[in-house]
Structure 1
Amino acid sequence: MTQKAAKTLSLMAALVALALLAGCAATTTAIRYQDLKVETQMSDTVFLDPVPPEQRTVYVQVRNTSDQPSFNIQYEVSAAIAAKGYQVVYDPRQAHFWLMANILSVGQTDKSALELASGAGFGGAIAGAAAGALIARSGSELGGAAIGGIAAGAAEVIAGSMVKVNWFAVITDVEISEASNEGISEETQSNLRQGSSTMVRQSSARSTDRKRFRTRIASSARQVNLTFPEAEPLLRQGLINSISGMF
């Protein structure tokens, strides 16, 4: 056998080994994440005091500032709250409770970005998939085959193209305010950046007759090769249940 033929056979053997290793990693990932996992988590618990029937009135406003304007749940949230015995009114002056929600982000993410957005709480930073580990890297979550050196990197790329654990999430900030007979003082402080080296600090104070509660809701879905059309109805229902469940 010539030296050239030996090199060719060695290369072919290496490629076959890489393919087998990649297939093993992909199979492990597919088995480990074959079941769809849907979660809805709140950054802070909101407790509303029980009120008499005449005060069970709610004004609902759900906005969507994400790049998915079709993800609109105001009607469903209003219906879910009404099903709990509350009257949804269209004049905020007639409502004992105000429910204000803003859908900040809808779409694909990864585990680290989701944890960052959820942990930041109401008004905190939101990171897209690019801000955490890339989905092609951490999202693929290869299944732990013992591969070393260059072979490991090559096998991960191959397996990652075959099987991915896709994450989709909806991040929503929610504020509920309740009418109060007692006067409440509010103080607001803002830090406004001007240029790269100047910061302007503003503060204001006012009296109000409403108590405010704030939280952030992170709804997520995860599965091997999951698509957004598959995840969307589950994310939608999880968010509706979480928001209406505070009443």
Structure 2
Amino acid sequence: MASCASNKLATEKKELRVDTRMSHSIFLEPVDPEQQIIYVKVKNSSGNKDLRLQRAIVGEMTYLGYQVTNAPSKANFMLQANIRNYTSTAKAPDGSGETIVGAVLGGVLGSAIGDGKGQEIATALGAVAGGAAGQKFSGRNLDVEYTALVDLVIAERSNNGLVDYRNRQNLTQGEGTSVSANFTNQSQWKKYRTKLVSKATKINLTEQEATQAIVNDIINSLSGLF
């Protein structure tokens, strides 16, 4: 029965599937070609240095006709990103490993929805899942999924003066003391925040194959905004 289930899984998921979703749509004002100047900055706090988006985004923006600059003062658009999480899960045909998979993936998705909550779960359990899966599932067909969570800020320079941003910040000072602060910022930029969650799934998927596929799909999603 286990062999049949493994063969069925291998048949159903032999092709790589990649799904990238954005939490909020962004609409930018069109500008003349000479105004298409963009500043790009990508950070990576996921701990995985192979997920390299900076060069890929710069290449795509150049292909779209944008001039990429290292000086924000010269740019009319800014694209800032942080790769917050990059995790992997593995599940056998009989459901083995489902508990660990659910915990890690739940942490990633919870982080995406809850603006950071659940990140600790994904980070802590990621190492446990990797070690346990490597020992328990060696030599078997596994349903492997890699998930990347990217925080994204896209900004366009305002042509109508300064933009007011009203913010509320809650601070904790010691035990039992909290402080709330309201403040207003003025900026020359209209900023839009969103999140990208990109998943790659395949039988016995390797990290190298998943990483390249996820980078390509994220680039496709971002290029559709410009």
TM over 0.5: yes
- How far is the alpha carbon of 1:88 from its aligned partner? 0.8
Find out whether 1:56 has 2:56 as its counterpart.
no
Distance 1:208 1:27 in 2: 58
Residue segments in structure 1 that go unaligned for 5+ positions in a row: 1-20, 140-157
User: Could you say if the C-alpha distance between residues 176 and 125 of structure 1 is closer, same or farther in structure 2, counting changes exceeding 3 Å?
Assistant: farther
Q: Which runs of 4+ in 1 moved over 6 A?
A: 129-132, 158-161
User: Could you say if the C-alpha distance between residues 67 and 129 of structure 1 is closer, same or farther in structure 2, counting changes exceeding 3 Å?
Assistant: closer
- How far is the alpha carbon of 1:164 from its aligned partner? 2.1
- How far is the alpha carbon of 1:118 from its aligned partner? 3.9
Candidates 189, 202, 218, aligned match of 2:181: 202
Find out whether 1:232 has 2:211 as its counterpart.
yes
Candidates 62, 67, 77, aligned match of 1:82: 62
Alpha-carbon contact 2:146-2:199 (below 8 Å) kept? yes
Distance 2:222 2:175 in 1: 39
Residue segments in structure 2 that go unaligned for 5+ positions in a row: 90-100
Q: What residue number does 2:113 align with?
A: 119
- How far is the alpha carbon of 1:135 from its aligned partner? 6.2
- How far is the alpha carbon of 1:214 from its aligned partner? 1.0
Distance 1:230 1:82 in 2: 25
Find out whether 1:128 has 2:125 as its counterpart.
no
Alpha-carbon contact 1:38-1:220 (below 8 Å) kept? yes
- How far is the alpha carbon of 1:67 from its aligned partner? 0.6
Q: CA RMSD in A?
A: 2.8
Q: What residue number does 1:147 align with?
A: none
Alpha-carbon contact 1:25-1:159 (below 8 Å) kept? no
Candidates 123, 140, 152, aligned match of 1:162: 140
User: Could you say if the C-alpha distance between residues 196 and 226 of structure 1 is closer, same or farther in structure 2, counting changes exceeding 3 Å?
Assistant: farther
Amino acid at match of 2:144: N
Distance 1:233 1:159 in 2: 24
Distance 1:189 1:212 in 2: 17
Instruction: Give deviations 1:56-101, integer Å, cap 9, x for gaps.
Output: 1101111111111232221221111111111111111111111111
Amino acid at match of 2:206: T
Distance 2:50 2:7 in 1: 35
Find out whether 1:189 has 2:189 as its counterpart.
no
Q: What residue number does 1:104 align with?
A: 84
Amino acid at match of 1:230: E
Distance 1:159 1:100 in 2: 39
Amino acid at match of 2:57: V
Report the TM-score when normalising by structure 2: 0.78
Alpha-carbon contact 1:135-1:166 (below 8 Å) kept? no
Distance 1:41 1:202 in 2: 33
In our comparison, the structure showing a higher alpha carbon Rg is 1
Distance 2:137 2:54 in 1: 41
